[in-house]
Amino acid sequence: MKRRGMLNSHIAKVLADLGHTDQIVIADAGLPVPNGVTKIDLALRPGTPSFIEVVTELLNEMVVEQVTLAEEVETNVEVDQELKHRLDKIPTKYLTHELFKERTKEAKVVIRTGETTPFANCILHAGVNF
């Protein structure tokens, strides 16, 4: 058993296979997953695990060069504030929610959380550590 870090074997595999600019979506419980994109479903019950919990762990494990969010996330004040705190040094791009959903078709994987608040979704763009 791993001592620390990502214990979910499916997520650990995705992270190990990422290349520069590959994309991972972290989604609330309601975001549609496009056909052909792998879904890793972490949802246990409404709110568990939370979107912010999953984002925090992925940011600890992954080199992120950019984040994409839906503009509408600003209406979800708690999630928006938490994201701004965690992403303060990472360039962030905003799209309409409809365009955001279109972009999820390019993702390697969608990680579904138990989050049940609106617009709690992001796309993490992989960077490199050199």
Q: Which position among 10, 20, 85, 125 bears the catalytic label?
A: 20
Asked whether the predicted pLDDT for residue 3 surpasses 90, the reply is no
pLDDT confidence of residue 4: 87
Q: DSSP string covering 62-91, please?
A: S-EEEEEEEGGGGGSHHHHHHHHHHTTTS-
pTM of structure: 0.95
Q: List, in order of start, the domains of the chain with CATH numbers.
A: 9-126 (3.40.1650.10)
Q: For residue 121, name the pLDDT band (cuts at 50, 70, 90).
A: very high
- Binding site as annotated, residues for substrate: 28, 97, 119-121
For residue 3, what is the DSSP state? Answer: S
Verify whether residue 20 is a known catalytic residue: yes
pLDDT confidence of residue 2: 80
pLDDT confidence of residue 76: 97
Q: For residue 124, name the pLDDT band (cuts at 50, 70, 90).
A: very high
Mean pLDDT of 44-55: 98
Mean pLDDT of 16-25: 97
- φ, ψ of residue 106 to 5 degrees: the values are -90, -5
Q: For residue 84, name the pLDDT band (cuts at 50, 70, 90).
A: very high
What are the pLDDT digits (tens) for 58-73? 999 999 999 999 999 9
Contacts of 83 (CB under 8 A, 6+ apart): 52, 55, 67, 69, 73, 122
